[in-house]
Amino acid sequence: MQKAWWQGKVAYQIYPRSFKDSNGDGIGDLRGIIEKLPYIASLGVEILYLNPIFASPGADNGYDISDYRKINPQFGTLADLDELIARAKERGISIILDMVLSYTSCEHELFKRALSGRKAPERDFYYFVRGSNGRTPDNLRSFFGGSVWERVPGEDDLYYLHYFTKEQPELNWYNEQLRQRMSDLINWWLDRGIAGFRLDAIMNVVKDRTFPGLPPDELGDGSCAAARMNAKLAAQAPSLHQELKKHSYGPRGAFTVAEAFGLNDTILDQFIGDEGCFSTVFDFTARETIEKNRPGYYAYPKGTLKIYRDGNFHMQQLTSPLGLVAPILENHDEPRAVSFYLDEGQQNAQGARALGTVFMFLRGIPFIYQGQELGLTNTRFDSIGEIDDVQSKNEYRNALAHGFSKEQALAILNVHSRDHARTPLPWDDSPHAGFTTGRPWLKLHQDAQSLNVAAQEQDPGSVLNYYRALVALRKRGAWQECFCSGDFIPGPTADDHVMHYLRKGTGKCAEIVGNFSTKERVFELSGEGRILLCSIPEARVEGRRLTLGATGAAVVEILPGRSA
């Protein structure tokens, strides 16, 4: 693989609405991010990914974009963004934006014109399809529940397609003129100094334009998840994305990370690597394992360390010969990892340090999600009124419809809701945790008074300072190459509470061992080693044996010439 500028870096994801509010309106903004750049830089991260900041009516928190060249005034102005790009660059940080190109907002100019009549040239930029006798064109179900089809007002039996909320009409990627507009848009942002993009929902762009539908799935209402259609058509996605790459981010050397669900070994080689459509793809395998063939939150179990480990091990091995993957523990669509993947007694700072360790040394470009570096756990939501997320609200209704009580439905959201990741970042112990001087748009974490950045800055043993050490080690000298693109070799997996793997670069070799059991354990190493970093004091290496206390993780250098 050729070495690109972004290789070896660690990325940080910001959910702008919840990061830092600079003007007291209760909503995080770009000036808040600028203010906190020293903090971001202190983590050692060099790529900053911002969730959508474009003009949007807010049907899905900014994922419904009405103007891709304007900034949502809640977040600031283009001048603020220009300043952020420049000031971040001074600190060696590149900004990447969330590019949502599989659909627009229904308030977007193109959709409004498309709606205006059959002859409008923009009509073909979206999918307008006739149903018959009051029936929708097919039986696909949106990712947020309900049909993917919405009736066009004032027209009989005419529908437009949307895979998420009805305010997010799907774009027709088969229209060449539209694809040209997308390339122009991407180039416009690259000209402004944006270093790349997170490309949203990239598997959704392929469609069977005969809209045949699919056999009903296990939900039992005759519909079938749209994701199944994506899976069926997945092999067609790369050619559409290759074209975009060719005309925009490819020649410009931009960094691209794709949100791609349903990747498998037959198509992965077309997504990553020098010839792939993207620089990298997020690894969602763990989440997908949990969601597989389940109709909604109400039917998902909680995650486990085993699910996280097995998902990552699978993807690490699959991607290693091809290119780089982007490992995650959390993002804005997931609950907090410490609550989600760990057992009850481990959902604390010690658990967060151990989990952070086994995550940080996976192969590829790791993305830390805001607050993960503090070891934030899930927020306790006491009523549905405290939830903002459109998907969570739908899931609540979904659970009630399946016979759960309100208490049970809320308990399900307390495990899975996307709002766990979206509560404002706690900065200090002042009112509203220093996030805003106004009223925060979403409730704060129940422990914000003690679990915050300022408190952790003071404590050398905090999760925050430990994350800094993790990132620093990952980038230190020859380790950078080893951890980013060196070999990944899984360790034994018989014990569901252990995550153990080996990383081997040109001149360096390390074993990463996480003991998530409740007892001290002894691990056989592949050679004599020495501890580079460990999350608890109870860790020692004697020859080829590592002794590690409960809920602890260690990074052990295997000394050259001493491996077995």
Q: Give contact residues for ligand BGC (rule: CB under 6 A).
A: 60, 63, 164, 168, 200-201, 259, 332-333
User: What is the rounded CA–CA span in Å between residue 299 and residue 303?
Assistant: 12
Residue 217, C-beta contacts closer than 8 angstroms, at least 6 positions apart: 141, 223, 224, 225, 228, 293, 295
Task: Give bridge partners of residue 282 from the DSSP assignment.
Answer: 326
Residue nearest to ligand BGC (CB): 63
Q: How many residues does the chain have?
A: 564
Nearest-5° Cα angle at 38, 34 to 43: 120
Backbone angles phi, psi at 307, to 5 degrees: -65, -40
**Can you read off the two tokens belonging to residue 228?**
């199944």
Q: How many CA atoms lie within 13 A of 237 on its CB side?
A: 29
**Best CA proximity match to 323, nearest among 410, 260, 246, 391:** 260
Residue 221 annotated among the catalytic residues of the structure: no
CB of 63 to ligand BGC, least distance (A): 3
C-beta of 62: minimal distance to ligand BGC in Å? 9
Choose among 280, 267, 276, 268: nearest CA to 245: 276
Please state whether beta strands 498-504 and 487-490 pair in parallel, antiparallel, or not at all (unpaired): antiparallel
How far apart are the C-alpha atoms of 372 and 338, rounded to whole Å?
A: 9
Nearer to ligand BGC, 60 or 243 (CB): 60
The angle, 0 to 180 degrees and rounded to 10, between the axes of the packed helices 349-360 and 463-475 is 10
Closer by beta carbon to ligand BGC, 164 or else 467 = 164
Q: Are 482 and 509 in contact (CB under 8 A)?
A: yes
3-state secondary structure of 197: strand
- 259 as an active site residue: the answer is yes
Tokens of 313: 């091990």
Backbone angles phi, psi at 454, to 5 degrees: -60, -45
Tell me whether residue 425 or residue 502 sits nearer to ligand BGC (CB atom).
Answer: 425
> Helix %, strand %, coil % for the chain, to 5?
35, 20, 45
What DSSP state is assigned to residue 221? S
Q: Which of 21, 98, 122, 200 is catalytic?
A: 200
Shortest distance in whole angstroms from residue 437 CB to ligand BGC = 28
Angle between helices 390-401 and 406-416 (to 10 degrees): 140
Catalytic residue among 259, 330, 419, 557: 259
Q: Which is nearer to ligand BGC, 46 or 334 (CB)?
A: 334
Q: Which is nearer to ligand BGC, 197 or 313 (CB)?
A: 197
Q: Which residues are catalytic?
A: 200, 259
